[in-house]
Amino acid sequence: MNVVDTFLAPNMVWRITHRFKELEGEDKRFVNPAVKDLYINLAMQSIQFRVDRSGAELTAESKTYMKPTASFFDFKKPFLIVMKKRDCPRPFFVMWVDNAELLQRK
């Protein structure tokens, strides 16, 4: 007797872009002395997700534009990712990235 398992995966493809307006504005300047005169002019995140019977793929991108001077943040050194829901005191995801294998070159 042969038993064959079948996995019926839903086919999903979506892209969500969210702008974090609550982080933006001249009234929300940084408190760190090294960047105290800067504020976030635009904070945005895009997530693209695909899943089907062949597997899944997730791509996420975030953009932050600073003012009054243009700043460029280059993640060539290790960095920390912290994700939390707006109304929750604790993050649901924290990751220290210090391994180039985890990064994707565009």
Q: HSE on the CB side for 106, CA within 13 Å?
A: 3
The tens digit of pLDDT for each residue in 12-59 reads: 899 899 998 988 988 988 888 877 888 888 888 888 898 887 888 888
Q: Where are the domains of the chain?
A: 12-102
Question: How high is the pLDDT of residue 52?
Answer: 83
Residue that the structure tokens 């707006």 belong to: 86
Question: How high is the pLDDT of residue 74?
Answer: 63
Residues 95 and 97: their CA atoms lie apart, in Å, by 6
Read off the pLDDT of each residue in 77-106 and give the average, rounded to a whole number.
Answer: 78
Question: How high is the pLDDT of residue 73?
Answer: 62
What's the predicted TM-score (pTM) here? 0.51
Average pLDDT, the chain: 80
Residue that the structure tokens 């695909």 belong to: 50
100: left (phi over 0), alpha (psi -120 to 50) or beta: alpha
Q: Supply 7's token pair.
A: 């996995």
64 or 73: which carries more pLDDT confidence? Answer: 64
